[in-house]
Structure 1
Amino acid sequence: MTDQPALRPERPFFSSGPTAKPVTWAPEKLDIKSLGRSHRSSYAKGRLKYAIDLTKELLGIPDDYLVGIMPGSDTGALECAMWTMLGARPATVAAWESFGNVWIQDAVKQLKLPDLQVLEAGYGEIPDLSQVPQDNDVVFTFNGTTSGARIPNLDWLAPDRAGLAINDATSAVFAMEMDWAKLDATTYSWQKVLGGEAQHGMLILSPKAVERINSYDPEWPLPKLFRIKKKGKIDTAIFEGSTINTPSMLATEDYIFALEWVKEMGGLSAMIARANANAQAVFDFIDSKDYLRNMVAEPSQRTNTGVCMVFQGEWYDSLSPEEQAAVPKKIASKLEKMDIGYDFNGYRDAPPSLRIWCGGSVELEDIQRLLPWIDWAYHELKAGNL
């Protein structure tokens, strides 16, 4: 038997999205002067522009790149990039978890791209990205939100490649370095690494991506939410605070709070260091337990945000598939009821697992306090007490 731990996490928020808010967050700290006003008023538009400018500053985005606020979270931003730019040349979509597979469905079933290469790998792996032709446009997830597998580097993208690189970085931005020179369209949502509110996405475009948009009109009709051109050219006002549709100014102020917190903490390097330390604590815990393994076998491909662990060992292997699937669910459910940890069961389409968010808005001490409770709950379940 394992004794019940004495210490509990102060903040039991381990969801992979929306993630934990910064530790200093409080609703009364938000600027609410823009609430109840038009988002096109000078003040509200100024706050939207400030959010864009601070994003560029903190992420080190080149001055000649455009950054815009999009509707529909990361999904809306990524699909806007796909629907407005793909079809001009052959394309590749690479996927190794659930969200990447959504982009495959867009390419195959919705856009029906005629010259399409699909690269797939199972949970915990990434495909051989060296197979991506340099002439192809490519769509990929930088970090597998639901699998815990990330791209270790962008060496497979040539600096002078002809195709565009469209990068879903929603659970990677603010936790991993982005080589902007190799990325043409990058998207993320506020609800991931910064713990912001949902439904707003960010679209970051290189000059090469802007040139594609200006020179190319796809064959398919574009929904209004994807229309980022005006009079045949990209509408630069969208990237200066004039959004396509009405944004939530309350959510915007929440995002600004998170950005200012990142700046106070030391910027991007500090956020990456925090995520690395949080993830390392989970890696060490997994390595110390013979009944656990990281879902990602290759260490260089392991994420520092949504770390996924799966169960193994003689007792676990003796269970039926249905009983195995219930193991992480029962552990997560028990600890949620005890207010020890919320929302850290694995993704519904992933192999049975636990997934702990380790992004920089989570405090290391809270993760260190959660882990012994997982060990306790596992032994309680194994003993028939859970």
Structure 2
Amino acid sequence: MSRVFNFSAGPAALPESVLRQAADEMLEWNGAGCGVMEMSHRGAAFTSIVEAAEQDLRDLLAVPKDYRVLFLQGGATQQFAQIPMNLLDGGKASYVVTGAWSRKAVKEAERMASAIGGRIELAVSTEAHGFRRFAAADEISLRGDEAYLHVCTNETIHGIECFDFPALAAHGVPVVADMSSHILSRPFDLRDFGLIYAGAQKNIGPSGLTVVIVRESLLGRAWAGIPQMLDYKVMADNGSMLNTPPTYGIYIAGLVFRWLKEQGGLAAMEARNKAKASALYDFIDGNDFYRNEIDPASRSRMNVPFRLREDSLDKAFLADAEAAGLAQLKGHKSVGGMRASIYNAMPLEGVQALMQYMDDFARRHG
């Protein structure tokens, strides 16, 4: 078997050791006589899995005691509607728009506000600048009476990352953050946020699982007509098990959390991610055949978009990359070009192989 270096933005690569352990435990988990997908979600075996997963996640993120961890379904996109349904409470919320995902979030929130009551306002948008940087702190305009401030702290499509979380918290309203594509890539203080959420398929596990971590004081504010399945407080009160949760996704996430702890935790992962991203950006900046158009201060460590000197070479670049065992480098259809997603599971060797290939391709076509 020959595995490629998988640069997909999501579903993304998982640590090989996690996949091998899951394969070993597919037919039988820990003497249970069956695999995880076959277990009752209310039985002792799965209870031990989900409790360990939550505790390891709490350890990694230093989750305060007054925050609840929810393992939900529906993906991060469902949260675009679920957040105002739970937090807007007839008031107003402000949104920072710095890329495709935060733009989608605000549009969905506006739809929900028109249906349930309340108002959505735009704190700032960088769209006029081509989504090439995160918003500066002094550009975010708030009055202080907002129910929450929503941000996407890593824009997967455009390759933009926010690095100053305390500046967001300084506005004095609960910060709600879509962290789908960089959660667990570096340490941060969770108290800077009222709620964070993330689809699992980037740095946590398989698609189908969504992690929400919410301050307890924000629970119990849901719109009166909210379905029980979408009410954070109901899900928290039921340990994320009002219905059958995504059991296998939680199991894989638990293996990933344990793997992260074995690697040295989030400080160690940040050092590795800095090294990978710096090497790739330095290569791109030092080769006039390639370019990255994002403000260097906002460049994502997880998603590195780049373009070739001539777009007409894109097809050949991708075909030759696939042949070289470098997969999923095509940029998102809305922006074109290339994108290398180098999440936690991508080893430095994968980035080095990509740079070697890019150098060879440039020499052959330059």
Is the TM-score greater than 0.5?
yes
Structure 1 distance, partners of 2:236, 2:229, is 15
Q: Is the 8 A contact 1:139 1:166 kept in 2?
A: yes
CA distance 1:46–1:24, shift in 2 (3 Å): closer
Matched, 1:375 2:330: no
Match of 2:300 in 1: 303
Structure 2 distance, partners of 1:333, 1:45, is 46
Deviation at 1:158, TM superposition (A): 4.3
Match of 2:330 in 1: 345
- Where does 1:247-258 land on structure 2 (aligned, <5 Å)? 247-258=245-256
Deviation at 1:55, TM superposition (A): 0.7
Match of 1:5 in 2: none
Amino acid paired to 2:223: P
Deviation at 1:304, TM superposition (A): 0.8
Matched, 1:335 2:284: no
**Secondary structure at the counterpart of residue 38 of structure 2:** coil
Write the deviation string for residues 87-144 of structure 1: whole angstroms up to 9, x where unpaired: 4432111122211111011122332343522522233222344323133221110111
- Where does 1:233-382 land on structure 2 (aligned, <5 Å)? 235-238=235-238, 240=239, 242-297=240-295, 299-312=296-309, 316=310, 324=311, 326-336=312-322, 338-350=323-335, 352-380=336-364, 382=365
Structure 2 distance, partners of 1:358, 1:71, is 25
Matched, 1:205 2:214: yes
Match of 1:149 in 2: 160
Amino acid paired to 2:76: D
Structure 1 distance, partners of 2:327, 2:356, is 15
- The number of residues matched between the two structures is 347
What root-mean-square deviation, in Å, do the aligned CA atoms of Structure 1 and Structure 2 show?
Answer: 2.4
CA distance 1:135–1:306, shift in 2 (3 Å): same
**Secondary structure at the counterpart of residue 127 of structure 1:** coil
Match of 1:82 in 2: 84
Amino acid paired to 1:280: S
Matched, 1:164 2:174: yes
Structure 2 distance, partners of 1:120, 1:160, is 17
Deviation at 1:353, TM superposition (A): 2.2
Matched, 1:140 2:138: no
Match of 1:4 in 2: none
Structure 2 distance, partners of 1:148, 1:342, is 18
- Where does 1:171-190 land on structure 2 (aligned, <5 Å)? 171-190=181-200
Structure 2 distance, partners of 1:222, 1:379, is 58
CA distance 1:156–1:88, shift in 2 (3 Å): farther
Structure 1 distance, partners of 2:101, 2:171, is 28
Match of 2:226 in 1: 222
**Secondary structure at the counterpart of residue 35 of structure 1:** helix
Q: Is the 8 A contact 1:148 1:295 kept in 2?
A: no
Q: Is the 8 A contact 2:149 2:175 kept in 1?
A: yes
354-363 or 113-122: bigger deviation: 113-122
Structure 2 distance, partners of 1:223, 1:311, is 48
Match of 1:320 in 2: none
Q: Is the 8 A contact 2:81 2:112 kept in 1?
A: no
Q: Is the 8 A contact 2:180 2:198 kept in 1?
A: yes
The normalised TM-score by structure 2 is 0.86
Structure 1 distance, partners of 2:245, 2:293, is 37
Structure 1 distance, partners of 2:60, 2:281, is 28
**Secondary structure at the counterpart of residue 47 of structure 1:** helix
Structure 1's consecutive aligned runs of 4 or more residues displaced over 6 angstroms after TM superposition are none
CA distance 1:217–1:237, shift in 2 (3 Å): closer
Write the deviation string for residues 243-268 of structure 1: whole angstroms up to 9, x where unpaired: 24323322222211111111111111
The normalised TM-score by structure 1 is 0.82
Match of 2:14 in 1: 21
Q: Is the 8 A contact 1:94 1:119 kept in 2?
A: yes
